[in-house]
Amino acid sequence: MKVLIVDDEPRHRRGMANMIHALRPEDQVLVAKDGAEALEFVRSEKPDVVLTDIRMPNLDGLSFLKLLEDEGLRTKVVMISAYNLFEYAQTAIRHGAYDYLLKPVDAEKVEDVLRRLEDQLAAEFRQHSESEALKHRLSLTSSAYRNGLFLSWLNGSLTDTERQELEALEEMQGSGMVVFSEFRFEPGPQAEWDPAAWLRRLEQAWAEFGEANTFSLNAPREDVCQAVTIVRTSRPAQERKLEIRQMAASLGTEWAKYGRFTHGIGPDCRSLWMEAPQAYRAAQTAHQYNFHDRWEGIVFQDELLSVRDPVLPDGEKLFEALQGRDAEAAVEMCRAAFVQLAADGHAAPNLIKECAALTLMKIKSRIRDYVDRRIGSVLTHSALDEVPSCRAYTDLMAILETRLREVHDAIRQSQSDKSERIVDECLRWIQENAKEELTLERAAEHFFFNASYFSTLIKSRTGKTFSDHVTEARMRRARELLAANRRIYEVAAECGYQDTKYFCRVFKKQNGMSPEAYKHTSFPQRSGEG
């Protein structure tokens, strides 16, 4: 081993150097008079072990130890002091000292600590060699094997052997973050698409924030590629959100001609090896919230807020709006309800989809007695197939709005068909009851309508008023009876007129001649026919 002795007392330096030469003749011994000189030796000579005093001019032993830690110099340090102070020992151990010896130093203790250090250095060398060999092996193996190892790790299904292999890798150590990324293709040809280039570019982009390792989560399909990136970094993602969003936006623009990039970022990991699998699952969950446009393609898990229980659109009010003249009232009611439900992008996508499906099924149940069954089948298909497969909130709302307009049109058509039937039934009823006193109020009550609405309905469907239809029905009956040579007062009574003179005036106005004249013109003709 190469051993450096640091002490400001020349006598102590010589004594310690002679002791080590006697105990371990094969070791190389260097000496330094203070911490500053020792630091230069460590940088240039890279000794395996440093035995240093604490109280020294220029740079004391504890400050020297702290600088070694700050610069990442991994030499083993044993502190030697004449002061048996707990505070010194505690500070030394906190900054990475291997041991703490008291002066005067016993030769057996020095020999013991050097032997233990030699054993530890040998073990660390073997471990480092094995780690380097494993990294080389992994670099030579297929990407499928490497992906399989990482996936098994993230999914918690590693074997003991695989766990040992991965745990030995340097990139598994330290702090960092886990990113779940998805690229969804736009419809169209993808002849220029190179999955390997996509993964390399993704890894390169995340390497701006630390040591990045990206691997595929699925075999590239026609519509989507997924990947996970593990970024080893000491700086929390929370402190770099703006930079990360800018990078993601730039990456999205770069690949926009092929499709859309989205990302989910899990919580910061103090230990990647211990916490990354859980952070990976959190990143997947966060990614689902890209369903909402407001996140612009990247969601940090720690930005998601809890939301209160959902409130569905009022089914009865929605159905009432669907029966109105304009579908927009129902559409706007639905939009407002789902904007509130979405909670500015914090509501879980599956929850919103469930509410949308339930809304459609409630509408189906409410309209089953009003519209054709085909509309009900369309609503069922949307609730069970289209809504669950929606990738974006805007797509979901487009489906809902389309179905609402279709239902509105179907209800309007049903109302129109029903109105036609009611008007036809009303005209038959008038004809059958022409002898009775017929009023608009009586007819409306008979057909369960408001009198004003019923009057408007008849006029809009036939172009004539209710009174016009009553008069026409009575005149048809009157002509039949007069042609049968019935007496005029009998005809008037049969047609609902108690006043014969009034009947005659109405008849003449409608037919251009008096009942008597009509009777005489009609009767000879019928006699001739006989």
Name residue 183's beta-bridge partners. 225, 261
- Cα separation of 85 and 79, whole Å? 12
- Distances 312 to 93, 318, 320, 362 between C-alpha atoms, Å: 61, 11, 16, 11
- Cα separation of 87 and 497, whole Å? 122
Portion of the chain with pLDDT greater than 70, in percent: 92
> Is 102 in a helix, a strand, or coil?
strand
Taken as a whole, the chain contains a residue count of 530
Q: What is the pTM of this model?
A: 0.57
Which pLDDT score is estimated for 143?
59
Decide: 9 and 61 in contact? Cβ < 8 Å. no
pLDDT at 254 over 80: yes
Domain boundaries, the chain: 2-127, 143-303, 315-414, 433-529
- Cα separation of 29 and 283, whole Å? 53
Residue 384 per-residue DSSP state = I
What CATH number has the domain spanning 143-303? Answer: 3.30.70
Q: Which two tokens stand for residue 243?
A: 């930079």
The single-letter code of the amino acid at 273 is: W
Three-class DSSP labels, 482-525: HHCCCCHHHHHHHCCCCCHHHHHHHHHHHHCCCHHHHHHHHHHH
pLDDT at 49 over 70: yes
Class of domain 433-529: mainly alpha
The string of pLDDT tens digits covering residues 166-223 is: 887 777 788 999 999 999 887 765 556 677 788 889 999 999 999 999 988 876 556 7
**Using alpha carbons only, what angle is made at residue 137 by residues 133 and 143, rounded to the nearest 5 degrees?**
150
Portion of the chain with pLDDT greater than 90, in percent: 43
pLDDT at 430 over 70: yes
Q: Which two tokens stand for residue 409?
A: 């049109």
Judged on CB neighbours under 10 Å (0-12, 13-18, 19+), 121 is middle
Which pLDDT score is estimated for 319?
86
Mean pLDDT, to the nearest integer, of 3-23? 90
Query: Which one is the CATH code of 2-127: 3.40.50.1820, 3.40.50.2300, 3.40.50.880, 3.30.870.10?
Result: 3.40.50.2300
